[in-house]
Amino acid sequence: MSRMTVSNAFSQPDQLSAELRERILLTADELGYVGPDPAGRALARGTSGAIGVLLTESLSEAFTDEVATAFLGAIADELAPTGLALALLTASDREDVVPARDLALDGAVLYSCLPESTARTWLLRRRLPLVTVDQDPIQGVASINVDDRAGAFAAAEHVLALGHRRVGLLLRSLDGSLGISDHVSTSVEGYPQRQRLHGWLEALQRAGVEPVASNMPSNSSEARREAARQLLTLPERPTAVLAFSDVAAFGVLAAARELGLDVPRDLSVVGFDDSPAAGLSAPPLTTVRQDMAAKGREAAQALTAAIARSRSPVKASRPRRVVLPTELVVRQSTGPVPSSTGVVAFSR
């Protein structure tokens, strides 16, 4: 066999008959030959075959988050026919661990990372084809977001319609602090949470309701419960809590059980995301649904289009901007305001 024929058996199988390719692969297996070196192949083709996904500082946290895993699964499924593989990147700022700087990539998805992340900065500096997801849009970069603000507005309107006027917000703090906010700040961590806060405040303030907020310093189960306990032990305890995610809302449900509060008789709770666990919690969680599978598919399609644009001599088209809809899903964790509570709003 010529070298070209053997090379085609591994790299361009459509150039050979099935019988000839099988003979070559069987012989290679007998000789212990595993095929062309991937690094050499990448150099020859000018492509690595890998797509980076920039996640949070802790990759383990992403794997325990059902919303993140659904998103990653949708990207992987969409990319499968292209032969591109996922490379998960950490947003850690350790100088000795910077895969975003050093790893050979054809492009990357910026997901669930802060703007000041060193890894994010490196990916932008490398001028790779990129797509942002749940991030503030960047000039010249494709972006995929959901309508967080409209979803949060609908959630707040829902508890207002049930008569609630003492409303608490459970937020992820920007500075890692735990405690009740003296005022509800609009300077919070991450684009989605900021948009959700704007949506809540728009509905609540229109109704003359000033909410109180509790900040959770991390996404651990204990941090969620402790932040919720601080809300639920206030002298004027909220009758409804709007949480920035379903996971945060589960912390509210856990804290309510510990304090002997019945949901929804004593307290209404609303989450955000409609994770698989939302319908299985006790009680089933009222939440705002976002389509994580659609988000993953859109991200993969936008990135493959950006890669194609980067390799085309034709003048590039404008990058894709996608905003996916949200939907309020009402379940058993919300109910009318307790009759003995009244409707006095928090005063500040």
Query: Could you read off the pLDDT of 94-107 as tens digits, one per residue?
Result: 655 557 777 889 99
Return residue ranges of the chain for CATH 3.40.50.2300. 50-146+291-325, 148-290
Helices and strands in the chain: count of H runs, count of E runs: 12, 13
- How many whole angstroms separate alpha carbon 61 and alpha carbon 157? 32
Q: Classify 177 as helix, strand or coil.
A: coil
pLDDT the model gives residue 343? 44
pLDDT the model gives residue 345? 38
Element (H, E) at 86: strand 85-89
Burial of 100 (0-12, 13-18, 19+ CB in 10 A): buried
pLDDT the model gives residue 330? 98
Spell 147-179 as b/e; 16+ CB within 10 A means b.
bbbbbbbbbbbbbbebbbbbbbbbbbbeeeeee
Query: Do the Cβ atoms of 170 and 243 come closer than 8 Å?
Result: yes
SS (H, E, C) 206-271: HCCCCCEEEEECCCCHHHHHHHHHHHHCCCCCCCEEEECCHHHHHHHHHHHHHCCCCCCCCCEEEC
Tell me which DSSP letter residue 273 carries. B
Q: How many CA atoms lie within 13 A of 325 on its CB side?
A: 2
Across the 348 residues of the chain, what is the mean pLDDT of every consecutive 10-residue run? 80 80 86 66 61 75 79 92 85 62 87 80 89 91 95 98 96 70 62 92 95 85 91 95 95 96 97 94 96 95 91 75 96 91 41
CATH 3.40.50.2300 fits 50-146+291-325, yes or no: yes
Q: Output the six-digit token pair for 337.
A: 């305001």
Greatest Cα pair distance, the chain, in angstroms, is 88
Q: Which CATH class is domain 148-290?
A: alpha beta
Q: Model confidence over 5-39: pLDDT tens digits?
A: 887 777 677 788 888 888 888 888 888 877 665 55
